[in-house]
Amino acid sequence: MTSALPALQAAVRRHARIQNSAANGKMLETVLDTLVGEPVMVFDKHGRPVWSSTRAREIAEFSNGATHPISLSVRDQARRLAAIEDRDPSRHSSRMELQLPHNGDSPIAAADLMIAHEARGATYVIARLRSGNTNSVKLAMLAEHYDLTPTEAAILGKIADGLSNQEIANHQRISLETARTHVHRVLQKLGVSTRTKAALLTREF
């Protein structure tokens, strides 16, 4: 019995280390979920899932454990983005905005993918899933890309719907002059000269 004691004590210490490691990992995951606050998935360069936030796991899996088509689409594009980056890092192709097919059982319409390089050289792809209908997601992407304010993004949406300045003023409950100013600023930021070109941009982006 005495001779077996050291081995037993070592086993107890090893078990304690494993439990502590698991507890720390759970704590880290909870912190990440809290800080991120939205569905995020991380893949290696081969498109294999590395980590997902709780919200992303809820979206990416059916109740029976099967993988959701949205998850497969994002995984395929993550692998593609990593391959492009691997072939030619100088192309600055480290980001990708992915429109996802409409799916009645999911609130997710798009994903932002970004390359991240780990300190030891490993490549990962971080995918942030976006909720909302496709049109609202496109407007959000355009707003981020062209540095539009929330008000300007809303004005762009009205332009895309074909509304006149007066109709925009009525919808936004602002004066006609303010509506004209907003429209002018939106066109300037988009780098287009006409409302028609701005509307086309929302369809082609």
What pLDDT, on the 0 to 100 scale, is given for residue 111? Answer: 79
What are the structure tokens assigned to 153, written together?
A: 């993004």
Whole-number Å distance between alpha carbons of 91 and 84: 9
Residues 196 and 111 in one domain: no
pLDDT at 1 over 50: no
Residue range(s) defining the domain that contains residue 139: 135-204
Mean pLDDT, range 160-171, rounded to an integer: 88
Same structural domain, 183 and 148: yes
Q: What is the CATH number of the domain that holds 50?
A: 3.30.450.20
DSSP H helices in 37-122? 54-60, 69-87
Q: 65 lies in a domain?
A: yes
| 77: helix, strand or coil | helix
pLDDT of amino acid 201 = 84
Which whole-number Å values give the CA distances from 170 to 145, 155, 177, 179, 199, in the listed order? 27, 12, 12, 9, 19
Query: For residue 83, what are the contacts with CB-CB under 8 A and spacing of at least 6?
Result: 45
> Residue 3: what pLDDT?
54
Query: Of 61-70, 136-145, 157-166, where does mean pLDDT reach its minimum?
Result: 61-70
Q: Please indicate, yes or no, if residue 29 is contained in any of the structural domains.
A: no
Domain match, 152 and 189 both: yes
Same domain, residue pair 66 and 112: yes
Q: pLDDT per residue over 45-103, tens digit each?
A: 999 998 888 878 877 765 555 667 778 888 898 999 888 888 876 655 577 777 665 55
Q: Which pLDDT belongs to residue 134? A: 52
Residue 150 is inside which H or E element, if any? helix 150-160
| Inside any domain, residue 12 | no
Same domain, 119 and 155: no
This prediction has a pTM of 0.52
Q: Are residues 114 and 192 in the same domain?
A: no
pLDDT band with cut points at 50, 70 and 90 for residue 9: low
Q: How many independent structural domains does the chain possess?
A: 2
